[in-house]
Amino acid sequence: MRDFKTVMYLVSGIILSLVCLSCEVKTAIAPRIDLVPSHLAGIFNKQSIRLTNNRFFLWPENVTSEQVSRVLEVSDEMDDLDRKLFPMHQRLANLEVETAPLLEGIQSKELALQKKTNAFSKKALSLKKIENDLSSAPGESDKRKLEAAKALLEGEIHQIQADQALLEAEAQKLRESPLLIEKNLLTLTRKENEELGRKYLEEVKSIVVWYDTQPTSVAFQFDDAGVPQASISGWVMDRDEGVRDFSTKSAPEEKPTIENLKYDEVGGVYEFDVRVYEDSVQSRLRETYSFRIARTNYGSEDGKIYFSGKIKRLRSLPGGGIEERQGAAKLVDKNN
């Protein structure tokens, strides 16, 4: 299989909103998705796939070509960040094991250091009391005893201070271990990249029509006859609505909510329609989401499966017309 970054790529372009005489409304048609020539595409045999990192969005009405380009650029940057973070997660997982003895050693030194500090405080209080007693001692014999006790305490305090310095030096040597330094630097880098990813996401959300609760799972399977099946779980399409699940399978007397599912092994292309009904008896169709997605980022080092593609939503309007809105979908996860 050839290792091309994408089977499908997004081409920026805007078709201005059109209103025809039949009252069908097309808004913000952008951008389109084109297939690369089939001889460049990978061949992906039928297999069960479950994707749990999903990003669906629609282009807003009057979106500009600059906004489209920026969203697509940021979306690619987010994918690059995901791929960059993968080896960091792996290395940090290994470092957690490798640095565990070092951290235990540091903790042990710090505990011993705390005990020495407590002992120092007690000895210092005792020394202060002896010094006070010396100032008011009635006789030479008492003074000699107090001075002897003072000298003994000062020796003990000196030894405690030496022990503290040694423990601190040993703990610091452990802290400066190359493995711990590497772990701390990687942790900081990962945090910075994750923060950058959150900023990218907020930028995308400020431009597009974003679903606050993205689907928790998009799954594809094939039955014994090789017929594809699909399901989408945990999708909240509107804040005022609850969670919706969709499937090519349906209960008796019900309609499937995913229809027209097709799979092409060339490029790993899935096409299907998601039906959204207004009522539980499925008598009023509110809207249809048509998906066309394909495998991308062949042979990624993070071992994940990547899909990208387009969404077209057809929504029934109160006056009887149809609103068409374009969107995009990115789906990423390990095959599980």
Which of 29, 26, 69, 72 minimizes the C-alpha distance to 322? 26
Whole-angstrom CA distances from 237 to 98, 242, 323 are: 45, 8, 16
What is the longest distance spanned by two Cα atoms in the chain? 118
Which of 2, 25, 8, 19 minimizes the C-alpha distance to 318? 25
pLDDT the model gives residue 23: 32
Which of 239, 274, 245 minimizes the C-alpha distance to 259? 274
pLDDT the model gives residue 41: 67
Alpha carbon distance 74, 62 (integer Å): 20
Question: What is the residue-level pLDDT of the chain in tens, covering all 336 positions?
Answer: 333 333 333 323 222 222 232 333 344 434 444 444 555 567 888 999 999 999 999 999 889 999 999 998 998 898 888 888 888 999 999 999 999 999 999 999 999 999 999 999 999 999 999 888 888 877 888 888 888 998 999 999 999 999 999 999 999 999 999 999 999 999 999 999 999 999 999 999 999 999 989 999 999 999 999 999 999 999 999 888 889 999 999 988 899 999 999 999 999 999 999 999 988 889 999 999 999 999 987 877 778 888 999 999 999 888 889 999 999 999 988 654
SS3 of 331, please?
strand
Query: 243, 237 in Cβ contact below 8 A?
Result: no
pLDDT the model gives residue 234: 96
pLDDT the model gives residue 9: 35
Phi-psi bin for 289: left (phi > 0), alpha (psi -120 to 50), beta?
A: beta
Query: 265, 45 in Cβ contact below 8 A?
Result: yes
pLDDT the model gives residue 3: 38
Strand ranges of the sheet holding 228-235, from the earlier edge strand across to the other edge? 49-51, 217-222, 228-235, 244-247
pLDDT the model gives residue 1: 38
